[in-house]
Amino acid sequence: MRKLWSNWVQKWSSWIGDRDLELSLRRHLSDRGFSGDAARFENLRLAAVQRPGWVQVFVFTVHARRRGGKEEDINTLFGLVRQDERYSRLEICTYETRETRNAMFREWSSDLIRLRNSNP
């Protein structure tokens, strides 16, 4: 039972739930030399929003391998997504360090409502 629960929690934390967003994230990684199709996402979550909800900022962590790299050479990247539904605009940024991502998150979310526990 514990193993079943653990598997469910792992699947839930890696589930994106938005197919278009997932494809965009995988394309972003592929464009930067990573194997986007094999990337494993963790904790994609809404962190800030502008009323009435048109502008949203998401944070996530992804484990990806460089294309042509060894199977065991997995890189952990920290990412941000800014979505503006008014103009169908999507910006994706990935960083090597959490601190760099957090600095950009503070910039992107300065005029937005930050959700509880939104500190990435």
E strand or H helix that includes residue 113? strand 113-114
For position 55, what pLDDT does the model report?
Answer: 95
**pLDDT mean values, one per 10 residues, the chain (120 residues):** 60 62 94 92 91 92 88 90 93 96 95 79
For position 8, what pLDDT does the model report?
Answer: 47
For position 73, what pLDDT does the model report?
Answer: 83
For position 118, what pLDDT does the model report?
Answer: 59
For position 119, what pLDDT does the model report?
Answer: 63
For position 70, what pLDDT does the model report?
Answer: 76
Q: How far is residue 12's CA from residue 94's CA, in Å, rounded to a whole number? A: 22
